[in-house]
Structure 1
């Protein structure tokens, strides 16, 4: 499974996803690429896009995309580390084209 982390997420989040092939927008050289263009670049190449951009689902028409998107509640690693089980569960269960929001509530 190929996962890409949005540039708004800490690169250290990759350590929690070490069982998967994970890269970041920055590592691909796409820093600053707008969401529409980014979606075109990653759709069909990656399986899952992790982001904390709460506006993505309102700004983009995601209905024709095959990539699964997981929206995280924050980009603060300290808080994300408290919900890694939830993140990993969603990574395992999400299907192509789905959009899922994860909350901080345990």
Structure 2
């Protein structure tokens, strides 16, 4: 699957998904692009999911319009040492293969 790590996530997180094609916003030179436009780019470039630490995204976007899966990572801080603990849950969902459009909350709590 093609995944994009939002600019608010550490790029080392790419290494946690070796069975997938993973890019960062910086890799694609999409820094600073607003959420709606970013979701549109994801669809245009055949991405399967966005991983983000932006908890507001799920409330700001109309996912009937943007039918892409967004993993919203929830943890006390957005450091790799904390977020890497969430990757087994994400990989489990990715390995099932049938992603539904919209937000999926992945929490460290």
Fold conserved between structures, TM > 0.5? yes
RMSD (CA atoms): 1.5
Superposition misfits of 4+ residues, deviation over 6 angstroms: none
Structure 2 residues without counterparts, runs of 5 or longer: none
Secondary structure of 2:19 counterpart: coil
Quote the Cα distance in structure 2 between the aligned partners of 1:70 and 1:2: 13
Shift of 1:12: 0.3
Q: Tell me if structure 2 keeps the 8 A contact 1:48–1:91.
A: no
Q: Does 1:6 align with 2:6?
A: yes
Aligned length in residues: 105
Q: Which residue of 2 aligns with 1:85?
A: 88
Q: Larger deviation: 9-18 or 56-65? A: 56-65
Structure ranking higher in strand proportion: 2
TM-score of the aligned structures, taking structure 1 as reference length: 0.89
Shift of 1:51: 0.6
User: Residues 29-68 of structure 1 correspond to what in structure 2 (within 5 A)?
Assistant: 29-44=29-44, 45-68=46-69
TM-score of the aligned structures, taking structure 2 as reference length: 0.87
Q: Larger deviation: 20-29 or 35-44? A: 35-44
